[in-house]
Chains A and B, each alone.
Chain A
């Protein structure tokens, strides 16, 4: 199992009153929000998230953690991709361009990349020894789980690597931002449960048929928990490295409240330990190596 350095403090996070530059409904219920937040955008790394305060009052009370869909430090902008799931995201979707929105971040530990793949400015730590020439990055998304993947795809493509996106959704109406990946030169495969786009079935079917191109796949997965678990299991059976971005109910996003924990394996079983500990999704994650996660229980 790869070892992973964790930091429980988001030392680079900032609070910003971000101006909404645009709010676009891509498909029914799927929105892309573009924000001007120069200091925050400059600090983002692939796979991180921001806390978004949707209301100034008490309804909804808590901020919403939303994945960073894209960021441009030079332009000072970032975008969020979200699906309207309830009161908070519903209210967010009605905010027009020109309004400002209180957000804080970037938060959490994002995707891990090989050290030789990042430029100095990204300062991405290397958690695992990978030869990028022999690695095929495979992005696996379920529904709105596509949201945190573009900056990751960009990092791999900028380094000249081939890359693959396997994208699963219930129907064609829930497939968004595919053009962003094809524009980057990412090979995109789609599966829908109702067969309205791509192959009929789940994203795991695409993964089973994976053309490895003579390389060792490295999976980056984001989507609903049953999908993460299924992909993690498949990766485990095939001996592929796999990172998953987890989601849990969250309050602070800063590692203080301990609401958003997941069970993470530990090495203490030999000493009579129980073999797991509660890790914080907000600061120890949201991205974990799949083999570190206790999926059942």
Chain B
């Protein structure tokens, strides 16, 4: 058997393998450098970035749930200028494409951010966050109405030549309607799923656990929902999908590829195992060798 091909193409972004990181779970990349070889990743998706710095929500911002967790960080980030100045330069040293996740308060904000990031050579692609459940603006309202999702996508598309990946919210009735709207507006790829809106209540204090009351549910608990939505969207549109939602190991990642994902992002698993991305990458390779798969692209959508 010849050499195994793990290279994939995510809407114009060439990746040496399908493994990326989910925004918000991997900081700006270097936080995990003591544990993994960042150069082995297919891409690094960094923390959500906004035009201005944000302090995010009050604590508690996190709650553990059965097979999952809720977060309500609220897009805490240093702002795009500080990102380009302080956080991007060290990432340039690593031979891994950097995908910047961006978020705004208005359609215009998204366009401005796209324009600023378009000028940064070492940003390989943009992931447009229209689905953060934890901020009043710049979040979920763009991601739950097809018209506003399309307007945001168009605004980004008009301001960058880089691949545009639009991250969809699962908190909608029909995910395929959202997918079609943003693809028609110029998305090169789709990322799904973002977190599911949830909450927990402390029965001792009789109060919601999170200061923000609601938060985004992630982890193994959401995997069946993510797989279903990726399966549906793969059927509905032609663009590649970056799949995520509770991927904990190589077998999970394979299931996402089979459902229709071209690449996968590791999120909550980074918290349970700082080497998770490497173990998942190894797991994909081992599966391919065991199953006689020569090219990982053979697996994409093979469950259909």
A258 engages B271 (CB within 8 Å): no
B271 engages A257 (CB within 8 Å): yes
Nearest-CB residue, chain B, relative to A58: B67
A277 engages B55 (CB within 8 Å): yes
Tell which of B158-166, B272-280, B291-299 binds the partner.
B272-280
B76 engages A278 (CB within 8 Å): yes
Q: Identify B30's interface contact among A9, A251, A262, CB under 8 A.
A: A9
A252 engages B64 (CB within 8 Å): no
Tell which of A12-20, A72-80, A229-237 binds the partner.
A12-20
User: Cβ of B106 < 8 Å from any Cβ of A?
Assistant: no
Task: A261 to B62: give the CA distance in the assembly, Å.
Answer: 11
A59 engages B66 (CB within 8 Å): yes
User: Cβ of A224 < 8 Å from any Cβ of B?
Assistant: no
Nearest-CB residue, chain A, relative to B77: A258
User: Cβ of B59 < 8 Å from any Cβ of A?
Assistant: yes
A255 engages B27 (CB within 8 Å): yes
Over the window 40-72 of chain B, the binary record of Cβ atoms lying under 8 Å from chain A Cβ atoms (1 yes, 0 no) is: 000000010000000110011111101111010
Nearest-CB residue, chain B, relative to A259: B62
Nearest-CB residue, chain A, relative to B54: A278
User: Cβ of A25 < 8 Å from any Cβ of B?
Assistant: no
Nearest-CB residue, chain A, relative to B75: A258
B219 engages A251 (CB within 8 Å): no
In the complex, chain B residues whose CB is within 8 Å of the CB of A261: 56, 59, 61, 76
Q: Identify A278's interface contact among B55, B62, B71, CB under 8 A.
A: B55
Nearest-CB residue, chain B, relative to A276: B55
Task: A209 to B35: give the CA distance in the assembly, Å.
Answer: 47
**Interface residues of B: mostly helix, strand, loop or mixed?**
loop
Over the window 244-280 of chain B, the binary record of Cβ atoms lying under 8 Å from chain A Cβ atoms (1 yes, 0 no) is: 0000100000000000000000001011111100000
In the complex, chain B residues whose CB is within 8 Å of the CB of A63: 271-272
B219 engages A248 (CB within 8 Å): no
Task: A50 to B31: give the CA distance in the assembly, Å.
Answer: 15
A61 engages B220 (CB within 8 Å): yes
Task: A61 to B65: give the CA distance in the assembly, Å.
Answer: 8
A248 engages B59 (CB within 8 Å): yes
User: Cβ of A11 < 8 Å from any Cβ of B?
Assistant: yes
A249 engages B62 (CB within 8 Å): yes
B272 engages A257 (CB within 8 Å): no
Task: A257 to B22: give the CA distance in the assembly, Å.
Answer: 11
A251 engages B35 (CB within 8 Å): no
Closest CB in chain A relative to B84 CB, distance in Å: 17
User: Cβ of A132 < 8 Å from any Cβ of B?
Assistant: no
User: Cβ of A42 < 8 Å from any Cβ of B?
Assistant: no
In the complex, chain B residues whose CB is within 8 Å of the CB of A283: 31
Closest CB in chain A relative to B50 CB, distance in Å: 14
A61 engages B61 (CB within 8 Å): no
Q: A15-B275, A249-B63, A278-B76 are in contact. Are A256 and B56 (CB under 8 A)?
A: no
Q: A58-B219, A61-B268, A258-B61 are in contact. Are A102 and B273 (CB under 8 A)?
A: yes
Listed in ascending order, the chain A residues whose CB lies under 8 Å from chain B are 8-15, 53, 58-63, 102, 104, 248-252, 254-262, 277-278, 283
For the complex of A and B, 8 pairs with smallest distance between CB atoms: A256-B27, A259-B62, A58-B67, A256-B31, A251-B271, A254-B31, A13-B34, A249-B62
24 A-B Cβ contacts within 8 A?
A8-B31, A9-B31, A11-B34, A12-B34, A13-B34, A15-B275, A58-B220, A61-B68, A61-B69, A248-B59, A248-B60, A249-B60, A252-B271, A255-B27, A256-B27, A256-B31, A257-B24, A258-B24, A258-B76, A259-B61, A259-B73, A260-B59, A277-B55, A278-B76
List 20 extra interface pairs beyond A249-B59, A258-B56, CB under 8 A: A15-B275, A58-B66, A58-B219, A58-B220, A60-B64, A61-B67, A62-B272, A63-B272, A248-B60, A251-B271, A252-B270, A254-B32, A254-B274, A255-B31, A256-B32, A256-B47, A257-B73, A258-B24, A260-B61, A283-B31
